[in-house]
Amino acid sequence: MIVENTQTQMRKGILEYCILSIIAKGETYASDIIAELKKAQLLVVEGTLYPLLTRLKNNGLLTYNWVESISGPPRKYYVLSDEGKTVLEQLDKTWQELVYAVQTAIGDRK
């Protein structure tokens, strides 16, 4: 149980960073984000993504455009806002620091 909890905590911590990173590559549709996250084994179900996206959007990190779709209702394609880009840059930096910190910590163990 404790293991599971910690694992989830670790995943959660980097989830928003990953989402922002994926969106930073260009206009992205929610299911594309899901596909990438699934590939990275960060997220299991799609439903959890929508509240996250909405929260990021409400915090001003994301905006979206409506794009017509042939297979259903119009889709929301997300893009990073200027603020989102700055935040992502800061997170990049933090991530590098974390990677360094973790590697340093693990390095001792080898």
Partner 1 sequence: MNKTIIININGIVFHIEEDAYDVLKLYMTDVKRHFSTSADSLEITTDIENRIAEMFNETLANQNKQVIVEADVKLIVEQMGTVEDFEFAENDAKASGAGAYTYNTERRRLFRDPDDHLVSGVAAGIANYFDIQAVWIRLAFALSFAFAGSGFILYIILWIVIPKAVSRADRMAMKGEKQDLKGFKKSFEEEMSSVKENLSNFRHEAKPFVYKARDFVGDFFDHLGVFLRGAGGLLIKLLGLVILLTCFGLAIALIVSLVALVGFGKTDIYHIFPFNIVNRDTNMIFLTGGFLLLAIPLLTIILLTIGFLFKNATFNRSIGTTLLCIWLASLGAVIYYGVRATADFREGAKLSKTIMIKPSANNTYYLQLNDTKYLTNEDSTRLRIKERFNGMVILDDDFNGNDMDSPDRVTIDVEKSDVPQPVLIESFTARGRNDEDALINARNISYRFLQKDSVLKFNRHLERLAGSLWRGQELHMTLKVPLNSKLIIDGKLDRNMNFNLYDCLQNNNPKNPAGSVFIMTPDGLQCKIDTIPATKVDTLNNKLPADTAKTPVQ
Which residues contact partner 1 (rule: CB under 8 A)?
5, 8-9, 12-13, 30-31, 44-48, 50-51, 53-55, 58, 69, 71-76
Amino acid at 18: C
Nearer to partner 1, 25 or 38 (CB): 38
Closest to partner 1 by CB, 53 or 80:
53
Q: What is the C-alpha radius of gyration for the chain, rounded to an integer number of angstroms?
A: 16
Quote the least distance from Cβ 77 to partner 1, whole Å: 13
CB of 2 to partner 1, least distance (A): 13
For residue 51, the minimal CB distance to partner 1 (Å) is 5
CA pair distance 73, 58, nearest whole angstrom = 22
Cα gap 106→85, rounded to integer Å: 31
User: Which is it for the CA torsion 101, 103, 106, 110, positive or negative?
Assistant: negative
Tell the smallest beta-carbon distance from residue 48 to partner 1 (Å): 4
Cα–chain center distance at 22? 7
Nearer to partner 1, 2 or 45 (CB): 45
Cα 13 from Cα 24, distance rounded (Å): 18
Q: Is the Cβ of residue 6 or residue 90 nearer to partner 1 in the bound state?
A: 6
